Structure 1
Amino acid sequence: MSTQTNDTREKILATAERLIYQNGIHATGMDLLVKTSGVARKSIYRYFATKDEVAAAALNARDVRWMQWFRTESNKAETPRGRILNMFVVLNDWFESEGFHGCAFINTAGEIGDSNDPIRLIAKSHKQKLLDYALELAEQLNIEQPSVLARQLLILMEGAITTARVMGDYSAADSARDVAQLLLKQASP
């Protein structure tokens, strides 16, 4: 693939991701994508057969980038316990960042009714990766039931994200962190 081809494809994906995150999948039509990206409709269809393919590719790219960012920032703490608690600090920073519109995966999954739709499967995969990361950290604590703690942490993170988006309460990450501290204390050997 030539550099120009890659640049055009990346421009389409970056624009689609931004529009989907701001407006949702249903509100992001091909006309808006063409207008906003400056890429001709015919060129978009050279890379993607349907709007759903564009959306899936954009969400896959966001998944990779978001998880890398989240892990990197959370891992700045020195201990597994510190990394677990730092996940909520990272979420709080995200909530307070310009352009926060909640979780793109929660948002898009809410738009799609079919649980086997590729978009829903991407959202499910993203949440599984988040759970896997929480499990990785919980296992480093040498506790009896790391998978139980990991699921509880996922629920706390998802609850904080949803509360921040729906209620506009960005302190939800701090509240979730407080509960995580209690869970860590309870789980300690």
Structure 2
Amino acid sequence: MPAAPLDDPSVASQASARERLLDAAEALIYAGGIHATGVDAIVRESGTARKSFYTHFESKDALVAAALERRDERWMRWFVEGTLGRARTPRTRLLAMFDVLREWFASPDFHGCAFLNAAGEIGAPDDPIRVVARDHKERLLRFVREQCDDYFGSVASDRRQAARLARQWLILIDGAIGVALVSGDADTALDARAAAERLLDATTSSARPSKPSSRRPSRSTPSKETP
């Protein structure tokens, strides 16, 4: 008796076929790019029938967007848990982000940021794929901002600068990812960490309110010359 197709209900549910398509799309596109990955390759890698693709997704772009949405959930969970699990104080949590990144950079399947990669291939700002990429960065920025708020609160500094620091922190994160991708050097994360530490010190110093001077102003003798 011949084996039933992998996406036959007697073997796996339609939901399972959808997950396999998402798995295949994410893996292939992350490694090779959106435009270089065709639907046939995704279907073949997933082990499903081509009709399963059309059952669950109206287009390749819809599949890619769904795969990125799922990756966003997984990546953010990994990043948040890794950051919070490594440090207890607001300052060390901020810096721990780069330690988490270094582990990622050193992994054999690191191919940069999937969301930056996707955005680089899609020109239209309102394209669903670009929207998912933008949402991911906004979500990452919110997490960074929470840590910046906690940091400024812990050092009794002006919290109004937290938003600016969070944006700068995101640039350091994305910059480290980009340089690590091109150079293949996982220690790029350590360089970014060192720069981040200096940024923290400089920002905190400038944000701390100055204390009024306790010295009384000296009385100078009026000059006889006209300015």
By the TM > 0.5 criterion, same fold? Answer: yes
Whole-angstrom distance in 2 between the partners of 1:31 and 1:4: 21
Taking structure 2 as the reference length, what is the TM-score of the superposition?
A: 0.80
1:168 aligned to which of 184, 187, 197: 184
Give the deviation of 1:187 after TM superposition.
Answer: 2.7
The RMSD of aligned alpha carbons is 1.3
Q: Percent identity?
A: 49
Q: Do residues 93 (structure 1) and 103 (structure 2) align?
A: yes
- Structure 1 unaligned regions, length at least 5: none
Distance 2:58 2:14 in 1: 16
Provide the secondary structure at the position in 2 that maps to 1:65. Answer: helix
1:1-189 equivalences under 5 Å are 4-76=13-85, 77-141=87-151, 142=153, 143-144=157-158, 145-188=161-204, 189=208
Instruction: Say which SS state the counterpart of residue 140 (structure 1) adopts.
Output: helix
TM-score (norm 1): 0.96
Residue type of the alignment partner of 1:6: A
CA–CA distance in 1 between the matches of 2:184 and 2:122? 24
Identify which of structures 1 and 2 has the higher relative contact order when contacts are C-alpha pairs closer than 8 Å and 6+ apart: 1
Deviation of 1:62 (Å): 0.2
Aligned length: 188
For the residue of structure 2 that corresponds to 1:75, the secondary structure is helix
Larger radius of gyration: 2
Q: How many Å separate the matches in 1 of 2:14 and 2:149?
A: 43
Q: Deviations over 1:14-71 (max 9, x none)?
A: 1111111011111111110111111111111100011011000000000010001000
Distance 1:40 1:22 in 2: 23
CA distance in 1, matches of 2:120, 2:114: 10
Measure how far apart 1:176 and its partner are.
0.7
